[in-house]
């Protein structure tokens, strides 16, 4: 049985929205949800804060590099 994807996306008000295997996919949802939405490793460690760390819509690849650098454990590329 496969493990649950490690990247979790939360809205600005802290509502859990979805999980993703790849950071580029999570970036799409974060870009749509806007400022203060987050990508987390698991449900606690924030690895991307939209509007503070950058703007996801500017480059999904750049966001992914930041996420992979901050959360190198168990996240496939």
pLDDT digits over 11-23, tens only?
Answer: 999 999 999 999 9
pLDDT digits over 17-53, tens only?
Answer: 999 999 999 999 999 999 999 999 999 999 999 999 9
Which residues, in sequence order, are bridge partners of residue 50?
Answer: 54
Instruction: Please tell me the predicted confidence (pLDDT) of residue 36.
Output: 98
Of the candidates 5, 69, 57, the residue with the CA atom closest to the CA atom of residue 31: 57
d(CA 21, CA 36): 21
| Domain residue ranges of the chain, discontinuous segments joined by + | 7-70
- Per-residue pLDDT band at 1 (split at 50, 70, 90): low
Q: Are 40 and 10 in contact (CB under 8 A)?
A: yes
């Amino acid at each position: 049985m496969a493990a649950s994807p490690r990247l979790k996306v939360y809205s600005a008000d802290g509502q859990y929205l979805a999980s993703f295997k790849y950071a580029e996919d999570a970036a799409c949802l974060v870009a749509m949800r806007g400022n203060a939405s987050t990508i987390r490793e698991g449900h606690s460690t924030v690895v991307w804060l939209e509007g503070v760390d950058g703007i996801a819509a500017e480059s999904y690849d750049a966001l992914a590099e930041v996420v992979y650098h901050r959360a190198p454990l168990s996240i496939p590329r």
